[in-house]
Chains A and B, each alone.
Chain A
Amino acid sequence: MPFVADLATPGGALLVLAIAVPAIGVLAAFALGSRHAARIAIAVVAAGFALAVAVAARVLADGAPLVYVLGNWRPPLGVALRADGLAAVMMLVTTVVLFFVALFARADFATPAGVRDARAPLVFWTMLLAILAALNVCFLAGDLFTLYVALELLTFAAVPLVALDGSAETLRAALRYLLFALAGSLLYLAGTALLYGAYGTLDIALLAGRARADAATTVAAALMTAGLLAKTALFPLHLWLPPAHAGAPAAASAVLSGLVVKGSYFIVLRLWLDALPAVITPAAAQFIGALGAAAIVFGSAVAIAQPRLKLMVAYSTVAQIGYLFLLFPLAVGLAHPEATAITGGMLQVASHATAKAAMFMAAGLVYAALGHDRVADLTGVARTLPITVAAFALSGIALIGLPPAGGFVAKWLLLSAALATAQWWWAVVIVVGGLLTACYVFGVLGRTLATVDPPPPRGAVTRGREAVVLGLAIVATVLGFAAFAPVDLVQVGRPPVAGVPR
């Protein structure tokens, strides 16, 4: 069976640059110290965005994935990098979010005057670049073992961000996160061992052609999925997420919640839709969808009850991760609506990444202004921080899924996929989840809009930082207009579904 994907395509070098540039940035930032790290990080993230745009343009123009074969050793012995539409979309989302976060974090992680090197800024900026490198490996890797290495890189880059302030509470959260993540990646590794033993290759395209639904493959798929779910924090494996994401500094929380959990989610997507489509049964897809539904209901309900804003936003992440997994029952084993469900799911990824990062940064500004983030005491904040509250409102609208935000189109596509496949129960979950999200978002907004004398203090929050947060929230809002794009980038390189014209 001929695999065109085994041959390097022109422009394949872009994929190498997308991984190598941030990796070089890590080394440069580490070598030059925290005084230069911020500038290097912002430049590298901007370069990463340019590369992502170039890759996306190339993928769109070719209508086929970009491929680079490392050292000209072809799979199954060699390792290939591939960028299809899914990968290009994820690269774009990642670099956009990182760019806004880096602009926001300049004030928090500046090296104080008179100090040559400071620990927290150095760790933050190097780890930010390491996350960009690791995520790009996640999106571009063409084989399951490279994905394992990417998973571990992502863990090692994300865990220090949780414990940046070095307090006992955040160290505990970081350690718990690390233990969950390591257990998850070892289960994933056990699965790759079984798959290699069965098929003699870990290349995703080759596996898709060879995999059969036998016992070894099913066990391998189950082990790998369980490991990845622990890293993605899908209910009931979400226990590590709220303390880790709520305890980190705002800029770090934005990256962890918006982007890092999407790395392991993306690998689930690759595994289920690309590597082992023959093995994944509709029953398994229903099961993972049920976990997603439980995450939506549980995460939203707990978020409503949270006394602190950052914990509320973190539990909201637990809930929104659930939406991502509704993609599977709507896309697996059913030929017709696959395209709608996948586009909807990816739009939900982009919408949550931008909206949640903006929301965490807005919560960070509220904390900086008031010195606390108790939801009950947020009355009148809209008077002193109108731009921040506007950003919080816009990102909340994106999370609820109200028009014209990207979240609305994402949920609309998922809803229509649910109705088109006669799976009304997922439609109920999507609607109920939106209502619960509205409860906690409007609960906070209502308090901030109340009139009080005297207005709450403004702290050291500058208009510039507020504008950055609002900028990212606006990105989350205008994502809805992606629905009017003439071509669907997500679908480029998807295997054609029998009988459905694309």
Chain B
Amino acid sequence: MGDVTLFGVAGAVLAGLGVYGLIASPQPLRKILALNVLGTGVFLLFGVVARRGAAAGLGADPVPQALVITGIVVAFAATALAVALTLALTRAAGSASLESDAPAVGEDPGPPR
């Protein structure tokens, strides 16, 4: 029981740190890292659930471990996409800031079509 509680609390702390970082840090790269910290917390939660074996009363439940592998793959793909977008933004705008210089009313910064 002790290790389940410990890992559960660790997962909750990681998730909390991730949410804080996502909201508090302005740079996209830090937000992406914060998302990964949040994700790690959630994955740890799946590990705790597997360990508790709530489903069948077993020592460990394989289903959450299968789910978490899918989750990790998805998170990896998401991180790659986010980093690629950040790089493209840096190349196009000169900085990766998310603060948009709001399009002025007079000029015409509209879409291409």
Closest-CB distance, B77 to chain A (whole angstroms): 7
Residue pair A179, B82 in contact (C-beta under 8 Å)? yes
Q: Is the CB of B93 within 8 A of A168?
A: yes
Whether B35 contacts A196 by the Cβ 8 Å rule is no
Q: A189-B71, A250-B113 are in contact. Are A156 and B55 (CB under 8 A)?
A: no
A382 vs B83: C-alpha distance in the bound complex, in angstroms?
44
Check A106 for interface membership: any CB of B closer than 8 A.
no
Partner of B82, one of A175, A246, A368: A175
When chains A and B are docked, how far (Å) is the Cα of A145 from the Cα of B110?
Answer: 39
Contact status B85-A183, CB under 8 Å: no
Task: Assess whether A198 is in contact with B54, with CB atoms less than 8 Å apart.
Answer: yes
Contacts of B77 in A (CB 8 A): 152, 156
Q: Which of A217-262 contact B (CB under 8 A)?
A: 243, 246-250
Which residues of A from 192 to 213 have beta carbons under 8 Å from B? 192-194, 196-201
Least distance between A138 CB and chain B CB atoms (Å): 15
CB-based contact A159/B110 at 8 Å: no
State the CA gap A148–B64 with chains docked (Å). Answer: 14
Interface residues of B in 55-113 (CB under 8 A from A): 55-56, 61, 63-64, 67, 70-71, 74-75, 77-78, 81-82, 85-86, 88-89, 92-93, 98, 100, 103, 105, 108-113
Closest-CB distance, A476 to chain B (whole angstroms):
22
Alpha-carbon distance between A179 and B28 when the two chains are bound, in angstroms: 9
A250 to B46, CA, bound (A): 41
Q: Which A residues lie within 8 Å of B18 (CB)?
A: 186
Residue numbers in A under 8 Å from B49 (CB-CB): 193, 196-197
Contact A372 B108 (CB under 8 A): yes
**Are B113 and A368 in contact, with the CB atoms below 8 A?**
yes
A352 within 8 A of B: no
Taken residue by residue from 165 to 194, chain A's Cβ proximity to chain B (1 for < 8 Å, 0 otherwise) reads as 111111111111011001100100110111
Are B39 and A310 touching (Cβ within 8 A)?
no
Interface size bracket, B side: 35 or more
CB closest chain-A residue, reference B109: A169
Specify which of B22, B28, B45, B71 is in contact with A175 (CB 8 Å cutoff): B28
In the complex, which residue of chain A has the Cβ closest to the Cβ of B82?
A178
Contact B98 A175 (CB under 8 A): yes
Question: Please, which residues of chain B bring their CB within 8 A of the CB of A108?
Answer: 113
Given the contacts A178-B81, A197-B54, A171 and B63 also touching, CB distance less than 8 Å: no
**Which residues of chain A are near B67, meaning CB under 8 Å?**
145, 192, 196
B86 contacts across to A, CB distance below 8 A: 175
Contacts of B48 in A (CB 8 A): 197
Q: Which of A244-301 contact B (CB under 8 A)?
A: 246-250
Main secondary structure of the interface of B (DSSP, over half): helix
A186 touches B82 (CB 8 A): no
CB distance from A93 to the nearest CB of B (A): 25
Across the interface, which residues of A come within 8 angstroms of B22, CB to CB? 179, 183
Q: Are A200 and B56 in contact (CB under 8 A)?
A: yes
Q: Cβ of A193: which chain B residues have Cβ within 8 Å of it?
A: 42, 45-46, 49, 64
| Complexed CA–CA distance, A159 and B70 (Å) | 21
Nearest to B112 among chain A residues (CB) is: A165
Q: For the complex, is A92 an interface residue (Cβ under 8 Å from B)?
A: no
Report the bound CA distance from A166 to B84 in whole Å.
12
CA distance A182 to B31 in the complex (A): 11
Q: Are B35 and A248 neighbours in the complex by a CB distance under 8 Å?
A: no
- List CB contacts (< 8 Å) of A304-319 with chain B: 307-308, 310
Cβ of B70 and Cβ of A200 under 8 Å apart?
A: no
Q: Are B85 and A175 in contact (CB under 8 A)?
A: yes
Which residue of the partner chain A has the closest CB to B77?
A156
Q: In the complex, what residues of A have CB within 8 A of residue B103's CB?
A: 169
CB closest residue in chain A, given B92: A168
Tell me the complex Cα distance, A243–B99, Å: 12
CB-based nearest B residue for A373: B110
CB-nearest residue of chain A to B52: A197
Provide the residues of chain B in CB contact with A171, threshold 8 Å. Answer: 85, 88-89, 92-93
Interfacial chain A residues near B112, Cβ < 8 Å: 165, 249
**Contact call A183/B35, Cβ cutoff below 8 A:** yes
Tell yes or no: A374 within 8 A of B by CB. Answer: yes
List residues of chain A with CB within 8 A of the CB of B88.
163, 166, 171
Q: How far, in whole Å, are A178 and B15 apart by their CA atoms in the complex?
A: 19
Report Cα–Cα, A76/B88, bound state, in Å: 43
Q: How far is the CB of A112 from chain B (nearest CB, A)?
A: 14
Measured in the bound complex, the distance between the Cα atoms of B23 and A183 in whole Å is 10
A487 at the interface (CB under 8 A from B): no
B contact residues around A178 at 8 Å (CB): 78, 81-82, 85
- Which B residues from 1 to 43 make CB contacts under 8 A with A? 15, 18-19, 22, 28, 31-32, 35, 38-39, 41-42
In contact, B39 and A172 (Cβ under 8 angstroms): no
Minimum CB–CB distance from A463 to chain B (whole Å) comes to: 18
State the CA gap A247–B103 with chains docked (Å): 11
With CB as the reference atom, state the residue of chain A lying closest to B23: A183
Cross-chain pairs A/B with CB under 8 angstroms, 11 sampled: A152-B74, A169-B109, A175-B28, A179-B32, A182-B35, A186-B35, A196-B46, A196-B63, A197-B52, A200-B61, A249-B112
**Known pairs A165-B112, A367-B111 / 14 extra A-B pairs, C-beta < 8 Å:** A108-B113, A145-B70, A149-B70, A159-B85, A170-B111, A172-B100, A173-B100, A182-B35, A186-B18, A190-B41, A200-B55, A243-B100, A250-B113, A308-B110
